[in-house]
Amino acid sequence: MTYAMYDSQLSPFAARCRMVIYAKGLDVAIKDMPGAIPPEEFVSLTPMHKVPTLTVGDAVIPESQVICEFLEREHPEPALTSSDNLVQAQIELACRICDLYVMAPLGQLFGQVNPQSRDDARVEALVGDLKKGLSWLDHYLGDGSYAIGNNMTLADCTIVPVLFFVQQLGPMLGHDDLLDDSAKVSKYFKAMQTEKHAQRVIGEMATSLKKWQKSQ
């Protein structure tokens, strides 16, 4: 089966898929967008016109979480899920909190980076929402080496790229490290930066962020 993934290195959604790919050692052709394919051809491939998008032969799979879960089912080793239903619920909950309550305000804050167009009141409200989401993630993180337990799971692949942006965004908005109020999350992210697959994804995102900043 031939895999290709249309990718943006700066996207935390694409990064979670890359982390799954790296953790499983999969042979996937990573095609950076824009540029890997003409826009009109990409639209015909996926009317959602979003990255990441995975192609499996002639089949097309959009949406990062769907891609990650597909790859997990197709390539169950090493496992990034759990056969224990309670543990799996914890993994899914961590992903859900990260997407709905951390990534949602984070995405809006990214639009406030430019000080010339920044709405300070809006920023403060969104930072409050972000910190609330981080506090919930802090509460539900496990006590093991990874987000849930002592092995990498889809929770880590989801959380790590998002926390990279959280840490980077604070200084851009005139704030200190936005992870400071969430001790367990902060400790977790610091430890994950030495994990080889997480380290690779963080390095890719950091390089891409520097390029983006120079272009602004």
Please, which residues bridge with residue 4 across strands? 29, 55
State whether the Cα torsion 79-60-204-94 is positive or negative: negative
CA neighbor of 23 nearest in space, from 93, 63, 81:
81
Residue pair 186/11 in contact (Cβ under 8 Å)? The answer is no
pLDDT at residue 183 is higher than 90: yes
Residue pair 131/178 in contact (Cβ under 8 Å)? The answer is yes
pLDDT at residue 44 is higher than 90: no
Mean pLDDT of the chain: 94
pLDDT of residue 74: 97
pLDDT of residue 216: 72
pLDDT of residue 43: 87
Pick from 30-39, 48-57, 146-155: least confident: 30-39
pLDDT at residue 146 is higher than 90: yes
pLDDT of residue 39: 83
Exposed (0-12), middle (13-18) or buried (19+): which is 65, by Cβ within 10 Å?
Answer: middle
DSSP state of 102: I
pLDDT-based confidence at residue 66 (cuts at 50, 70, 90): very high
CA neighbor of 21 nearest in space, from 79, 71, 85:
71
Structure tokens at 88: 């799996």
Tokens 């509460």 found at:
139
| The pairing of beta strand 53-56 with beta strand 3-7 | antiparallel
pLDDT of residue 175: 86
Residue pair 60/50 in contact (Cβ under 8 Å)? The answer is no
Convert the pLDDT of each residue in 4-37 to its tens digit.
999 999 999 999 999 999 999 999 999 998 878 8
pLDDT-based confidence at residue 77 (cuts at 50, 70, 90): very high
Convert the pLDDT of each residue in 125-140 to its tens digit.
999 999 999 999 999 9
pLDDT of residue 97: 98
Tokens 């980077």 found at:
168
pLDDT of residue 42: 86
User: Half-sphere exposure (CA, 13 Å, Cβ side) for 153?
Assistant: 24
d(CA 146, CA 142): 7
pLDDT of residue 176: 84
d(CA 55, CA 45): 9
d(CA 81, CA 147): 12
Q: Spell out the residues 6+ positions from residue 143 whose beta carbon is closer than 8 angstroms to its own.
A: none
d(CA 166, CA 43): 31
